[in-house]
Amino acid sequence: MSRAIRRKGLLLPVVLFILTFFTTLLAGAVQTGVHILKEPEKIYKGLPFALTLMAILLSHELAHYFTSKRYNVKATLPFFIPAPTIIGTFGAVIKMKSPIVTRRALVDIGASGPIAGFIISVIVSIVGLSFSKVVPLKQMEESIHLGDSLLFTLLSRVILDYHPGSQDILLHPIAFAGWIGFFITFMNLIPVGQLDGGHIAYAILGEKYVYLSHGLVLVMVLLGLLLWEGWALWAILLLILGLRHPPILYWEVPLDHRRIFFGWLALVIFVITFIPVPFKIY
Answer yes or no: is 143 within a domain.
Answer: yes
Domain count, the chain: 1
Answer yes or no: is 217 within a domain.
Answer: no
* Whether residue 281 has pLDDT greater than 90: no
Q: What's the domain range around 77?
A: 3-189+255-281
pLDDT of residue 276: 95
Answer yes or no: is 57 within a domain.
Answer: yes
Tell me the average pLDDT of the chain: 92
Answer yes or no: is 32 within a domain.
Answer: yes
pLDDT > 90: what percent of the chain?
Answer: 78
Answer yes or no: is 227 within a domain.
Answer: no
Q: Report the C-alpha gap between 78 and 75 in whole angstroms.
A: 9
Q: Are 248 and 203 in contact (CB under 8 A)?
A: yes
Per-residue pLDDT, averaged over 278-282, amounts to 75
Q: Report the C-alpha gap between 124 and 107 in whole angstroms.
A: 26
Q: What would the pLDDT profile of 81-123 be if each residue is shown by its tens digit?
A: 999 999 999 999 999 999 999 999 999 999 999 999 999 999 9
What global pTM score does this model have? 0.93
If one counts every other C-beta atom within 10 angstroms of the C-beta of residue 237, the result is: 10
* Whether residue 143 has pLDDT greater than 70: no
